[in-house]
Structure 1
Amino acid sequence: MPEQFLFSLTIAGIYLLAGSVKGVFGIGLPTTSVTLMTMFIAPLEAIAINLLPMFFTNGYQFYKAQNHRQLLRSYWPFTVMLLLFLALFSVFAAGLGNDIIRLLIAISVISFAVNNLFVTKWTFQPKYDRFWQFSLGSLAGVLGGLTSLWGVPITIYLVMKQVTPRQFIDASGFLIFIGCVPLAIGYAATDILNTDSLMPSIAGVVTGIIGFKIGERLRPLLAPALFQKLLLWMFLIIGVRMLYSSLMG
């Protein structure tokens, strides 16, 4: 029991940090939490624990969105492809095993960091919007089903679309929140999601929401550009370390 309590306390601390990151930027909770958890637990265990905090924090973010109907109308192509491919690929995660999942997580984390650090000028003409929604929505579903991290394609799409900061926060919250449903079904069907992950996951929900509220309050007080760069460099270093461990281990 003391070991389980200490483990849940550690997870709670990770989600306090991850929630704060999400409160400041609107994204980053799954990337932060899964990246840190995989430093001391198996990747499949990490993505199971991550599901509930990801669902509730993004549900809260979606609840606070300015126009829910407009989000559905604007992003339905991305949503349809995301849900379809999440449902299809989530059932394959358990069969891949921890080593392959660790490698995929490393690639996702490195891609997330590199995209946000170095690739910021991509744009597309409005007439190609549906093409990019269908293609990046599909990619998000594949990555998300296998790793529970589908923020990279969402970020790429929204940056290319040149949305406002508020639109970015609302859309990313919606697309991550709604994707948790097929992911949970797939992970439960393959026993990735089970009762063993429940207590640390609940701890992550509580502190994740607290962290999110803290991040919201800190947002106007911080130098967001500097904080974001430091965070992304941390992701990049950890991601490279994970990639090296996956390939050499």
Structure 2
Amino acid sequence: MEQSETTFLIITAAFFVAGLVKGVTGMGLPTVAMGILGGLLSPLTAAALLLIPSLVTNVWQLLAGRHLKALLLRLWPMLAAISLGTLAGSVLLASGETDRTTVALGLTLAAYSAYTLLARQHRVPPGWQAWASPVVGLATGLFTGATGVFVIPAVPYLQALGLERDELVQALGLSFTVSTIALGLALFLHGTLPMADLKASMLAIAPALAGMFAGQALRTRISPSAFRRGFLLCMLGLGLEMALRPLFFP
């Protein structure tokens, strides 16, 4: 089998697995896709590939609830800061310095996985949210722009707001949608978003949606918490491997 065909199959499988995780847990598509593809492609190319399937699945998740207006009014400072932070942080991802971006991606995956596995659930006091939202948004944007991963620290923060389950799922979809659009705009402005990558990204929609539907069907037959722990342990190992790779293969 030619290398291009092998790469295509790996990319297809990566987005199916990423969609599967999202279908079971409600999140994780960009995290899993970047984690798997980051070992095969440069983080910049991997980030470009995830744009369209991430946008489609997150808009789907965003529009599935009834709380959009209330969430926009509550979260707009965080969302605006995510956009600004992504534009600033994308300088690293667009630089093409593969070693630095791979290490940054690995550390982000490992930090997110370890935090989610070990940290206790906290609550953000209502009085803190006026200043915490833009700070969290800016930090999330910087990480998104530098690594292509949208989760740190937005996901722990949203989980700490005390939202109902349906509200949380929709809030995650809203945050990820804004992050995806901001990342795509940032890569475009840096001139690092080739049409070939966008076409390949469109082809990734089908396996991502297939995986998401399979994950939603699987959710009723397995323990989501056990599945989530296994997924986080895999991401932790993958993140550590990516962060340490330049030390062993300089």
TM-score, normalised with respect to structure 1: 0.93
Residue 100 of structure 1: aligned partner: 100
Query: Structure 2: how far apart are the matches of 1:90 and 1:244?
Result: 22
Unaligned regions of 5+ residues in structure 2, if any?
A: none
Residue 150 of structure 2: aligned partner: 150
Q: Is the 8 A contact 2:150 2:179 kept in 1?
A: no
Residue 78 of structure 1: aligned partner: 78
Query: Structure 1: how far apart are the matches of 2:119 and 2:163?
Result: 16
- SS state of the match for residue 51, structure 1? helix
Alignment of 1:132-147 (within 5 A): 132-147=132-147
Query: What is the number of equivalent residue pairs in this alignment?
Result: 249
Deviates more, 1:91-100 or 1:231-240: 91-100
After TM superposition, what 4+ stretches of structure 1 lie above 4 angstroms from structure 2?
none
- SS state of the match for residue 150, structure 1? coil
1:38 aligned onto 2:56: no
Letter in 2 for 1:53: P
RMSD: 1.8
- SS state of the match for residue 152, structure 1? coil
Deviation at 1:209, TM superposition (A): 1.5
Residue 18 of structure 1: aligned partner: 18
Query: Structure 2: how far apart are the matches of 1:164 and 1:50?
Result: 28
Alignment of 1:1-249 (within 5 A): 3-95=3-95, 97-248=97-248, 249=250
- SS state of the match for residue 153, structure 2? helix
Q: Is the 8 A contact 2:51 2:201 kept in 1?
A: yes
Letter in 1 for 2:197: S
Q: Give the direction of change, closer, same or farther, for the CA distance of 1:246–1:160 in structure 2 (3 Å limit).
A: farther
Q: Is the 8 A contact 1:158 1:168 kept in 2?
A: yes
Letter in 2 for 1:36: I
More helix by share: 1
Q: Give the direction of change, closer, same or farther, for the CA distance of 1:66–1:4 in structure 2 (3 Å limit).
A: farther
Query: Structure 2: how far apart are the matches of 1:246 and 1:59?
Result: 36
Unaligned regions of 5+ residues in structure 1, if any?
A: none
Deviates more, 1:195-204 or 1:101-110: 195-204
- Identity percentage over the alignment? 23
